C-alpha cells in the first residue's frame, strides 16, 4: 500500500485549477474573473470618494468567497461516483466551464450568500464612517492583492500584478490602507515591500483600525447583541501578523457581551481549513467541521471571526455539522450595535 | 492528456480522502493527539526548564549546521580513535552500497527504528540482496508484516488497533494470538529473542552524535535498540550528517529536548555508544568484542543534506529533532496521518522529501497540501518556519512547471 509517487518523466504541468486562478488574477484582477461592477456594487449608494488619506481596500475578497464555494461545490459534484476524487478530475473542461467565463459559477451562488458577503463591505464602510473616519475606495477599478499568487508559488506573476495594484493605490493619494481581509494585509505588509519599490504605506486590518479608534474611549460600546461569544483567531492574524489582543480588548468594552475562550486560542488557534479548499475540498470541509466543534465546545451563542475565508469555511462547517452556534464576521457584529 | 503531476495529485488526493474516512485512523489519531498534548503538558510542567533549554538547543543546532562538515570530520576521527569504522555516503546509493559491502548476503540483520533507514529504504534493499532483516521496534515490525510504511515518526503503527494486530500475528505466527495487547507484545518478544541471538548484524540509527568524543545517543522505550546494538557481533549505525553536535554536553541537551517534545518525561532507555565492546581485564591488553559487538560501523549519510545546509532559508530544516510534535498539531495530519508524507511526514516532511527523498517528483503534492497555517511552528521546540519554506518550494515548482512548458 506504500504510496509510490515517482514521476515517470519531468512533465511538471501544474494542476489546472491553479493555472485557472492565476490566469484570472493576471488577466481580470481577481481569482474568478468577476467583473468590477460585481465587486463594487455594495458601494453604489455610499458615494465614497476615490481619493483621500485613508483607503478602504476590500480586495474583492468577501465578495468572491461565495463564488469560490460555488466553484468548489460544482467541481466536487462533477466527479460523480467518486466523491473522494480531487478537482484534477475533469479539468479538461474547467477552462470552458469557468475559467474566463464565470456565468456558471455565478448561477451557482445563492442570492442570500451573495448579499451577505457583499454587505460585509458596506457594513465595514458604514462602521468606519460612523466612527468618524473618512475613507476612500477604488470602486470598480479595485483589483485583488494577489495573495493567492503568492500562496500557490506564482511569485513572478505577483511581481507584475503588485505593480498594477501599487499604481492604483498610489492614484488615490492615500497613506493608510485598511484591509478587510488579513490575507491582503499580510501580503501588503510582508511581501509587497520585497517586490515593488517604494511601497511605503501604513497597512492596517479593519480590526486594528477599530481598535485604534476605540482604545482610548472610556465607557462602553453599543451592541445589538447580548450573550456569550467566542473568538476564532485567524491563522494569518494571530501567527503572521501577531494580532491577538485587540479583539479581546474591544469585546471587553462592549456591553452585554461575555467572551468565552476556546481551548485553542490566539497563537494556538486551529486552521479553518480554508487554504485547502481549492485543491483538497473534502479535507478542507472536515478541518472546518473540527474547528467548529472546538468552538461550539465553548457553548457560546456566537463565533466572531475576521477573515472572509474563515467566515465561509466555518459557516459551512456549522451548517453541515448542524452545530448550534452562529458564525459572524467581526464587521457584521460591530455593525449591529454601532450603525443600527 | 493530463500531466504526470496531475495524475500524481489525483492518486494522492484519493489516498488522503480515503484516510480521512478511515475510522481506524480517525479513532487512533484523536486518541494520540489528546494523549500527546496531555503527556507533553505534564512533562513540561514537571521539567519547566525545557522551553529555555529548547532555545539553547536551537542555538546549538544553528552552530552545528553552520559547522556541519567540520563536525562530521571531527566525529569520524573520534569514532575511529574509539576503534569504530566510519564512512561518509554522499547519496542513497552510496549508503546502500556501503551497507551491502559490510553485510553481504545470506545474513540475519536485526534493526532498530530509523527514519534514515526509511529514507534509504534499506530493509527492502538488504532483503533483495538475500538477507533476512527484522524490524525489532514493535510498531515497525507490525508495519513490516503489513507491508506498510510508517504513519508517524515516533509511533509508526499509530493507525493499527489491537484487533488488527491480533489477526496479523495469528497468521504470521501460525497460532492463535488473542486481541490482547500484552499477549501481542509477548509473542513478538519471544520471536525476536531468538533473532537477536542468531543475528549477524544489529542496525540502528542515532538521535544525536557528539563530535568531540564520537558518542552516539539512541533513545528508545522498548529496549530493542539496546539489544540490537549490544547482542549481535557487529553493529552498523546509520546517521544523517545533520545529527552532529559539537560536544557531549550539547548532545545531551539536544537529546533531552527531543524526548521531552516527543512527550516523554524521560525515555525508558538512553543508549550512548561510542565504539565497539572491549576489555583490558587480562594483562591490560585491549581486546574487542567482550560482551557486545566486536565491530562498530558508522555510516554518515549526506544524500541532499549539504544542499539544504547551503541554503540560508532551508538550512533550518536540518534543525529538526524528529520529536514528531508538529504532526500532532497539523490539521491535515490529524485527518490523514502519514498519508500526508513520503518517507518524511507532515509539513516539515514535505521539505525533507524534496531534498532527500526523491525530490519534487515526490514532494510536489505534499508541498501543495500544507495549509501554511503555521501551527507546527508554535509546537516546534526549535521554531522551524515550515510555511516560509513551503512558499519557496511552491515558487520553485511553478518555475519548473513553466520551464517544462
Tell me the C-alpha distance between B120 and B264, whole Å: 28
Q: What ipTM score was computed for the predicted complex, to two decimals? A: 0.94
**Tens-place pLDDT, residues B272-313:** 999 999 999 999 999 999 999 999 999 999 999 999 999 999
Q: What is the mean pLDDT of chain A?
A: 87
Residue B243 has pLDDT above 70, yes or no: yes
| Per-residue H/E/C for chain B | CCCHHHHHHHHHHHHHHHHHHCHHHHHHHHHHHHHHHHHHHHHHHHCCCHHHHHHHHHHHHHHHHHCHHHHHHHHHHHHHHCCCEEEEECCHHHHHHHHHHHHCCCCEEEECCCHHHHHHCHHHHHHHCCCEEEECCHHHHHHHHHCCCCCCCCCCCCCCCHHHHHHHHHHHHCCCCCCCHHHHHHHHHHHHHHHHHHCCEEEECCCEEECCCCCEEEEECCCHHHHHHHCCCEEEEEEEHHHEECCHHHHHHHHHHHHHHCCCCCCCEEEEECCCCEECCCCCCCEECCCCCCEEEEEEECCCHHHHHHCCCHHHHHHCCCCCHHHHHCHHHHHHHHHCEECEEHHHHHHHHHHHCCCHHHHHHHHCCCCCCCHHHHHCCCCCCHHHHHHHHHHHHHHHHHHCC
**Tens-place pLDDT, residues B195-218:** 999 999 999 999 999 999 999 999
Q: Which residues of A touch B365 (CB under 8 A)?
A: 5
Query: Residue A221 has which C-alpha cell?
Result: 460600546
**Tens-place pLDDT, residues A296-326:** 999 999 999 999 999 999 999 998 888 889 9
Higher-scoring residue by pLDDT: A113, A72: A113
Find out whether A158 and A150 touch, Cβ atoms under 8 Å. Answer: yes
Q: Which residues of B touch A283 (CB under 8 A)?
A: 16-17, 20, 332, 335-336
Residue A282 CA: distances (Å) to CA of A288, A313, B18, B163? 10, 12, 10, 29
Q: What number is the average pLDDT over the span A268-275? A: 96
Q: What number is the average pLDDT over the span B331-340? A: 95
**Tens-place pLDDT, residues B158-198:** 888 899 999 999 999 999 999 999 999 999 999 999 999 99
Round to the nearest angstrom and report the end-to-end CA distance of chain A.
59
Burial class (CB in 10 A: 0-12, 13-18, 19+), A103: exposed
How would residue B3 be classed by pLDDT, with cut points 50, 70 and 90?
low
Tell me the C-alpha distance between A22 and B395, whole Å: 13
Find out whether A135 and A54 touch, Cβ atoms under 8 Å. Answer: yes
Best residue in A4, A11, A17, A244 for a mutation probing chain B (most B CBs within 10 Å):
A11
Tell me the C-alpha distance between B131 and B102, whole Å: 12
Q: What is the mean pLDDT of chain B?
A: 95
Task: Establish if A294 touches chain B: CB-CB under 8 angstroms.
Answer: no
Contact A275 B342 (CB under 8 A): no
Higher-scoring residue by pLDDT: A87, B361: B361
Contact A3 B4 (CB under 8 A): no
Q: Which residues of A touch B12 (CB under 8 A)?
A: 3, 5
Range from A73-77, A101-105, B233-237 that averages highest in pLDDT:
B233-237
Tell me the C-alpha distance between A260 and A257, whole Å: 10
Range from A271-285, A325-339, B227-241 that averages highest in pLDDT:
B227-241
Q: Which residues of A touch B21 (CB under 8 A)?
A: 84
**Tens-place pLDDT, residues A191-241:** 999 999 999 999 999 999 999 999 998 888 888 888 999 999 999 999 999
Nearest residue to B129 via CA among B157, B103, B94, B111: B103
Share of chain B above pLDDT 90, in %: 87
Question: Which of B5, B20, B365 comes nearest A12 by C-beta?
Answer: B5
**Strand-pair category, B208-210 with B216-220:** antiparallel
Q: What number is the average pLDDT over the span A133-160? A: 97
Q: Which residues of B touch A280 (CB under 8 A)?
A: 13, 16, 369
Give the count of alpha carbons within 13 A of B76, CB side only. Answer: 16
**Tens-place pLDDT, residues B27-75:** 888 989 999 999 999 999 999 999 999 999 999 999 999 999 999 999 9
B340 dihedral zone (left: phi>0; alpha: psi -120 to 50; beta): beta
Q: Which residues of A touch B368 (CB under 8 A)?
A: 15, 152, 279
Best residue in A153, A241, A314 for a mutation probing chain B (most B CBs within 10 Å):
A153
Nearest residue to B370 via CA among B344, B398, B348: B348
Task: Establish if A81 touches chain B: CB-CB under 8 angstroms.
Answer: no
- Measure in Å the smallest separation between the Cα of B20 and chain A Cα atoms: 7
Higher-scoring residue by pLDDT: B23, B352: B352
Sequence length of chain A is 340
What's the pTM value of the predicted model, to 2 decimals? 0.94
Residue B5 has pLDDT above 70, yes or no: no
Question: Which of A7, A155, A287 comes nearest B4 by C-beta?
Answer: A7
Residue B334: closest CA among chain A residues belongs to which residue? A287
**Tens-place pLDDT, residues B357-368:** 988 888 999 999
| Per-residue H/E/C for A85-105 | CCCCCCHHHHHHHHHCCCHHH
Q: Which residues of B touch A5 (CB under 8 A)?
A: 8, 11-12, 342, 358, 361-362, 365
**Tens-place pLDDT, residues A172-200:** 999 999 999 999 999 999 999 999 999 99
Q: Sheet of A202-205: strands edge to edge?
A: A54-57, A176-179, A202-205
Tell me the C-alpha distance between B265 and B262, whole Å: 9
Q: What number is the average pLDDT over the span B104-108? A: 98
pLDDT of residue A35: 87
Residue A69 has pLDDT above 90, yes or no: no
Amino acid at each position: 500500500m506504500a504510496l509510490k509517487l515517482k514521476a515517470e518523466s519531468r512533465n511538471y504541468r501544474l494542476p489546472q485549477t491553479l493555472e485557472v486562478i492565476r490566469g484570472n488574477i493576471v488577466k481580470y484582477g481577481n481569482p474568478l474573473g468577476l467583473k468590477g461592477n460585481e465587486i463594487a456594487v455594495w458601494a453604489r449608494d455610499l458615494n465614497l470618494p476615490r481619493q483621500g488619506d485613508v483607503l478602504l481596500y476590500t480586495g474583492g475578497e468577501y465578495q468572491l468567497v461565495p463564488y469560490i464555494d460555488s466553484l468548489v461545490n460544482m467541481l466536487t459534484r462533477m466527479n460523480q461516483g467518486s466523491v473522494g476524487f480531487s478537482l484534477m478530475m475533469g479539468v479538461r473542461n474547467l477552462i470552458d466551464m469557468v475559467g474566463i467565463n464565470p456565468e456558471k459559477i455565478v448561477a451557482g451562488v445563492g442570492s442570500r450568500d451573495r448579499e451577505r458577503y457583499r454587505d460585509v463591505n458596506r457594513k465595514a464602510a458604514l462602521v468606519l464612517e460612523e466612527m468618524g473616519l473618512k475613507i476612500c475606495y477604488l470602486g470598480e477599478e479595485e483589483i485583488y492583492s494577489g495573495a493567492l499568487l503568492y500562496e500557490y508559488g506564482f511569485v513572478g506573476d505577483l511581481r507584475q500584478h503588485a505593480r498594477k495594484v501599487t499604481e492604483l493605490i498610489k492614484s488615490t493619494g492615500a497613506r493608510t490602507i485598511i484591509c478587510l481581509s488579513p490575507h491582503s494585509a499580510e501580503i501588503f505588509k510582508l511581501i509587497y515591500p520585497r517586490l515593488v519599490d517604494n511601497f511605503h504605506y501604513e497597512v492596517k486590518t479593519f480590526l486594528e483600525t477599530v481598535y485604534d479608534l476605540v482604545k482610548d474611549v472610556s465607557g462602553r460600546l453599543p451592541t445589538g447583541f447580548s450573550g456569550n461569544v467566542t473568538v476564532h483567531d485567524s491563522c494569518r492574524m494571530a501567527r503572521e501578523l501577531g494580532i491577538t489582543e485587540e479583539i479581546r480588548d474591544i469585546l471587553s468594552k462592549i456591553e452585554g457581551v461575555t467572551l468565552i475562550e476556546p481551548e485553542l486560542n490566539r497563537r494556538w488557534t486551529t486552521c479553518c481549513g480554508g487554504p485547502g479548499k481549492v485543491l483538497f475540498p473534502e479535507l478542507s470541509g472536515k478541518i472546518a467541521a473540527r474547528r467548529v466543534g472546538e468552538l461550539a465546545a465553548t457553548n457560546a451563542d456566537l463565533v466572531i471571526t475576521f477573515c472572509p475565508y474563515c467566515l465561509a469555511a466555518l459557516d459551512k462547517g456549522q451548517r453541515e455539522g448542524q452545530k448550534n452556534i452562529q458564525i459572524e464576521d467581526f464587521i457584521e457584529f460591530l455593525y449591529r450595535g454601532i450603525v443600527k | 492528456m493530463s500531466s504526470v503531476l496531475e495524475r500524481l495529485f489525483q492518486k494522492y488526493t484519493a489516498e488522503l480522502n480515503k484516510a480521512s474516512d478511515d475510522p481506524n485512523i480517525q479513532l487512533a489519531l484523536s486518541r494520540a493527539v489528546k494523549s500527546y498534548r496531555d503527556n507533553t503538558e505534564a512533562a513540561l510542567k514537571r521539567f519547566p526548564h525545557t522551553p529555555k533549554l529548547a532555545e539553547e538547543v536551537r542555538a546549538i543546532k544553528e552552530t552545528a549546521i553552520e559547522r556541519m562538515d567540520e563536525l562530521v570530520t571531527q566525529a569520524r576521527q573520534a569514532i575511529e580513535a574509539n576503534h569504530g569504522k566510519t564512512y561518509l555516503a554522499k547519496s542513497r546509493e552510496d549508503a546502500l552500497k556501503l551497507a551491502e559491502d559490510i553485510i553481504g548476503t545470506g545474513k540475519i540483520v536485526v534493526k532498530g527504528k530509523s527514519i534514515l533507514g526509511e529514507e534509504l529504504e534499506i530493509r527492502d534493499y538488504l532483503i533483495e540482496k538475500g538477507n533476512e532483516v527484522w524490524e525489532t521496534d514493535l510498531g515497525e515490525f507490525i508495519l513490516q508484516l503489513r507491508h506498510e510504511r510508517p504513519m508517524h515518526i515516533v509511533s509508526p503503527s499509530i493507525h493499527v488497533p489491537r484487533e488488527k494486530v491480533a489477526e496479523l500475528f495469528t497468521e504470521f505466527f501460525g497460532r492463535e494470538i488473542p486481541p490482547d495487547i500484552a499477549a501481542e507484545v509477548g509473542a513478538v518478544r519471544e520471536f525476536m529473542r531468538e533473532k537477536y541471538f542468531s543475528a549477524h548484524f544489529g542496525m540502528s540509527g542515532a538521535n544525536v552524535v557528539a563530535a568531540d568524543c564520537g558518542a552516539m545517543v539512541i533513545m528508545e522505550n522498548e529496549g530493542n535498540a539496546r539489544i540490537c546494538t549490544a547482542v549481535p557481533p557487529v553493529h552498523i549505525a546509520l546517521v544523517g550528517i545533520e545529527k552532529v553536535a559539537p560536544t557531549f554536553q550539547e548532545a545531551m541537551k539536544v537529546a533531552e529536548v527531543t524526548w521531552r517534545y516527543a512527550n516523554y518525561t524521560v525515555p525508558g532507555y538512553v543508549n550512548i555508544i561510542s565504539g565497539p565492546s572491549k576489555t583490558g581485564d587480562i594483562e591490560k591488553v585491549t581486546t574487542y568484542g567482550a560482551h557486545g559487538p566486536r565491530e562498530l560501523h558508522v555510516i554518515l549519510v549526506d544524500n541532499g543534506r549539504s544542499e539544504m545546509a547551503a541554503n540560508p532559508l532551508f538550512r533550518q530544516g536540518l534543525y529538526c529533532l524528529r520529536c514528531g510534535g508538529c504532526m500532532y498539531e497539523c490539521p491535515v495530519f490529524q485527518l490523514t496521518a502519514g498519508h500526508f508524507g513520503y518517507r518524511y511526514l507532515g509539513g516539515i516532511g514535505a521539505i525533507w522529501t524534496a531534498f532527500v527523498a526523491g525530490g519534487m517528483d515526490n514532494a510536489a503534492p505534499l508541498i501543495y497540501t500544507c495549509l501554511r497555517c503555521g501551527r507546527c511552528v508554535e509546537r516546534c521546540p526549535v521554531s522551524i518556519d515550515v510555511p516560509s519554506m513551503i512558499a519557496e518550494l511552491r515558487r520553485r515548482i511553478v518555475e519548473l512547471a513553466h520551464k517544462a512548458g
